[in-house]
Amino acid sequence: MKGIYVLILYNNKNREVNVGSLGKIKFKEGFYAYVGYSKGNVFKRISRHLSKRRDSHLHIDYLLKHCTVKLVYYSITDKNLECEIAKNINLTPIRNFGSSNCSCKSHLFYSKNISELKDRIENAFKKLGLDYKPLFC
């Protein structure tokens, strides 16, 4: 089952993380939304992100070593609307994060407030006409 997902992460302190090819990035304490798409099984991809195994292949793998996943939104769809979801979240982008294979500024966004992130994510799914579900972690 192909699908789009958005992870909401909590970073409990200001920190600097080496994010592979992006180098060192400063992350503020707060909440982050990461937008992804799975061409295979979206549930396997989400499970991989939630697992304690931390092979670092994707930008998000580096950050997940330091953050807690609080919530995941997902939608089962054959359409790769990952970039459209990212553009519609429209919060503070972490430049080039998760977007090395597209022209988006980022697929990772910051907010001090989890409610603001949830509202933006839900509105992005609704705007694109996608049914979505939350997974509580």
Residues 61-86 have a mean pLDDT of 96
The average confidence (pLDDT) of the chain is: 94
Residue 54 has pLDDT above 80, yes or no: no
User: Cα(93)–Cα(108) distance, rounded to whole angstroms?
Assistant: 6
User: Cα(38)–Cα(20) distance, rounded to whole angstroms?
Assistant: 21
Which has more confidence, 16 or 49? Answer: 16
Q: Are 43 and 116 in contact (CB under 8 A)?
A: no
HEC sequence for 30-65: EEEEEEEEECCCHHHHHHHHHCCCCCCCCHHHHHHC
Residue type, 12: N
Please indicate, yes or no, whether the overall pTM of this predicted structure exceeds 0.85: yes
- Tens-place pLDDT, residues 20-43: 999 999 999 999 999 999 999 999
pLDDT > 90 fraction of the chain, expressed in percent and rounded: 88
Q: Are 125 and 132 in contact (CB under 8 A)?
A: yes
pLDDT for res 55: 73
Of 35, 13, 14, nearest to 105 (Cα)?
35
